[in-house]
A = this chain, B = another copy of it.
Amino acid sequence: MQYPNNIKKNFTKLNISHSNRGMNLENALNLTNDYYLKKDRALIYKKPTPIGVVDVSYNNHKKIIEKAYFKEQSTLDYNGLYRGKYIEFDAKETLNKTSFPLSNIHEHQTLQIRNVIKHGGIVFLIIRMNDIVYLLTGEDYISYIDNNNRKSISYKYIEDHGHIIKMGYQPQLDYLSVVDQIYFKGE
């Protein structure tokens, strides 16, 4: 039986959230960002998914979307401000145990990663694989892309170059502690 892509994705998410004490990566990051905001540690938000509106109606002074479709984000999903620095990242997960398929990262996202590096921002990927959450810097990601013709990143590369983000209660995924170590060491 064939499922549409989006239903397949939901199945995948469901499987993932059954393992690893029910953590959903996107949800964990949103809660973490809310926590950082509340604690005045950083201003980091997930960008809304852009849509193309086809049809609207008006109900009692309010515009209602009657038909629309999701468009692709031209940047990474999360961005914001931390310790005076621009920060941007995306979160990706795979059930594949040996390699991370590069089809997960669109071409315009790779371009955005190159651009953020060039303009002096902090940029990285948060990758969940084998029930571990890694931070892979934009620099390490680009270095892999530019030096390999493969369609995936080997898990070994992620293990060797990625920085493990510890899971906890509050915040659920304290990725800024890893950012501190990588980008602000000695400060």
Q: Which of A1-40 contact B (CB under 8 A)?
A: 4-7, 40
Which residues of chain B are near A42, meaning CB under 8 Å?
119
A63 at the interface (CB under 8 A from B): yes
User: What separation, in Å, do the CA atoms of A116 and B43 have in the docked complex?
Assistant: 8
| B7 lies within 8 A of A75 (CB) | no
| A58 lies within 8 A of B116 (CB) | no
User: What separation, in Å, do the CA atoms of A49 and B42 have in the docked complex?
Assistant: 22
User: What separation, in Å, do the CA atoms of A99 and B82 have in the docked complex?
Assistant: 35
Which residues of chain B are near A48, meaning CB under 8 Å?
47-51
User: What separation, in Å, do the CA atoms of A34 and B43 have in the docked complex?
Assistant: 25
User: What separation, in Å, do the CA atoms of A80 and B80 have in the docked complex?
Assistant: 8
| A5 lies within 8 A of B65 (CB) | no
A6-B58 in contact given A40-B118, A49-B48 (Cβ < 8 Å): yes
A62-B119 in contact given A48-B50, A48-B51, A49-B48 (Cβ < 8 Å): no
User: What separation, in Å, do the CA atoms of A3 and B115 have in the docked complex?
Assistant: 45
Which of these binds chain B: A83-91, A144-152, A165-173? A83-91
User: What separation, in Å, do the CA atoms of A6 and B63 have in the docked complex?
Assistant: 7
| A4 lies within 8 A of B120 (CB) | no
A64 at the interface (CB under 8 A from B): yes
- Measured CB to CB, the closest approach of chain B to A64, in angstroms, equals 6
A47 to chain B: closest residue by CB: B47
A74 at the interface (CB under 8 A from B): yes
